Amino acid sequence: MIKIKLQTLNDAADCPFYVDGPKKNKFCFVKQNISMAQAVNLVEENHGFDPSSWNEDCEGDFANCALVKLLYDLTEEAEVEPEQELKSPIEEQIDDYDPYEEYEDEEESEEEPEPEDLVSVRVLGVENVYSVKVDALVYPNNQLLFIDDIELSKRSLGQIQAELDKVSPPVQMGSVYITTNGGEHRGGIIPKKIYHAIVATQMRLVNEQAISKAVVKSLTQADADGVENLAMLPMDCGTFDLYQTASAQLGAIYNFLQTVPTKNLKNIFIITTKNDKVTLDIYNEKFDRIFGE
């Protein structure tokens, strides 16, 4: 348990919630006790909120505060230029009148709004997570970039691990590394690309902030790469609480789709094996709470 150092009001600076830890390392007391997914679910939709700002150190400055950006609409209203000449509606009609302009029926000239392209998100149980016909797969990995899943290593004939071995560990939590699927061969992996989301430490300890950050980066990169159908594995790495994992992972997906415009993504699948009933039940429960509107 973190013990917060008792401070004076002079230490409050711009923000009274930016406090000293036991090792004199300052941190946000609010973000330490609530996850981004929980915070987002408590607030009305805010298109101006950047989910990646949650993991940044605000340094006690309100201008950098992720909570301020989440709770308040920071978009500025357009100002009327003082030198702009004000005209009555009749004067504006006279100025805009063109006797040679062909008459058009207003009703016919109005363009119908284009339908919005929505991204589908689903939780699915499958026979084998590496045989799903999608463009790319998000695999939860650790700071050592060492693949713990023996099946993934075998089906890629060790090629994926060989690609990861070219990177010097340890890598940063919340980062994402891309590899191939190990090549085309019998019994290989179907998705062409593997996005390695770094959510676990060298000791395989997972935290919600790393999950949220890695999810956003994976979705951003996949959309930029032209991926239409993306599958994600649950990011608990077999060590983290499934309820917390599902909240962070699904919450990050929801917040990303609410705040970031996408060009290519059409389907996002959170997949696990059909016989993993516990994971499926927990993820479906959290899915209904987060995406239930």
Q: Are residues 151 and 211 in the same domain?
A: yes
Q: Are residues 48 and 142 in the same domain?
A: no
With tokens 């981004």, the residue in question is 36
Q: Residue 173 falls within a domain, yes or no?
A: yes
Beta bridge partners of 203: none
Q: Residue 83 falls within a domain, yes or no?
A: no
pLDDT the model gives residue 56: 78
Q: Are residues 67 and 132 in the same domain?
A: no
Q: Are residues 285 and 174 in the same domain?
A: yes
Q: Are residues 134 and 279 in the same domain?
A: yes
Q: Are residues 161 and 238 in the same domain?
A: yes
Mean pLDDT of 187-201: 97
C-alpha 239/C-alpha 173 separation (Å) is 16
pLDDT the model gives residue 108: 46
Q: Are residues 145 and 207 in the same domain?
A: yes
pLDDT the model gives residue 88: 42
Among the listed ranges 44-48, 104-108, 137-141, 202-206, which one has the minimum average pLDDT value?
A: 104-108
- Which domain, by its residues, includes 272? 120-291
170 cis-preceded (ω within 30 degrees of 0): yes
Q: Which residue, 127, 179, 176, is CA-closest to 158?
A: 179
Which of these three, 33, 51, 71, is where a domain ends?
71
pLDDT the model gives residue 33: 75
| Structure tokens that stand for 11 in this block | 């230490």
pLDDT digits (tens, 9 = 90+) for 99-152: 555 544 544 445 554 545 689 999 999 999 999 999 999 999 999 999 999 999
Among the listed ranges 62-76, 136-150, 183-197, 221-235, which one has the minimum average pLDDT value?
A: 62-76
Among the listed ranges 5-9, 13-17, 59-63, 266-270, which one has the minimum average pLDDT value?
A: 5-9
Higher pLDDT, 98 or 231: 231
C-beta of residue 249 within 8 angstroms of C-beta of residue 233 = no
pLDDT digits (tens, 9 = 90+) for 55-78: 777 777 767 787 777 777 666 544
Q: Are residues 246 and 139 in the same domain?
A: yes
Q: Residue 84 falls within a domain, yes or no?
A: no
Q: Are residues 236 and 151 in the same domain?
A: yes
C-alpha 260/C-alpha 221 separation (Å) is 12
pLDDT the model gives residue 8: 60
Among the listed ranges 109-118, 126-135, 202-211, 228-237, which one has the minimum average pLDDT value?
A: 109-118
Among the listed ranges 22-26, 28-32, 220-224, 251-255, which one has the minimum average pLDDT value?
A: 22-26
Q: Are residues 40 and 163 in the same domain?
A: no
Q: Residue 106 falls within a domain, yes or no?
A: no
Q: Are residues 137 and 279 in the same domain?
A: yes
C-beta of residue 223 within 8 angstroms of C-beta of residue 48 = no
Which of 39-43, 96-100, 203-207 is most confident? Answer: 203-207
Q: What CATH number is attached to the domain comprising 167?
A: 3.40.220.10
Q: Residue 229 falls within a domain, yes or no?
A: yes
Q: Residue 77 falls within a domain, yes or no?
A: no
Q: Residue 234 falls within a domain, yes or no?
A: yes
CA angle 163, 267, 161 (to 5 degrees): 10
Q: Are residues 287 and 144 in the same domain?
A: yes
Mean pLDDT of 46-50: 68
Structural domains of the chain, count: 2
Q: Residue 112 falls within a domain, yes or no?
A: no
Tell me whether strands 120-126 and 267-273 are parallel, antiparallel or unpaired.
parallel
Q: Which residue, 30, 36, 34, is CA-closest to 290?
A: 36
Q: Which residue, 233, 290, 225, is CA-closest to 257?
A: 290
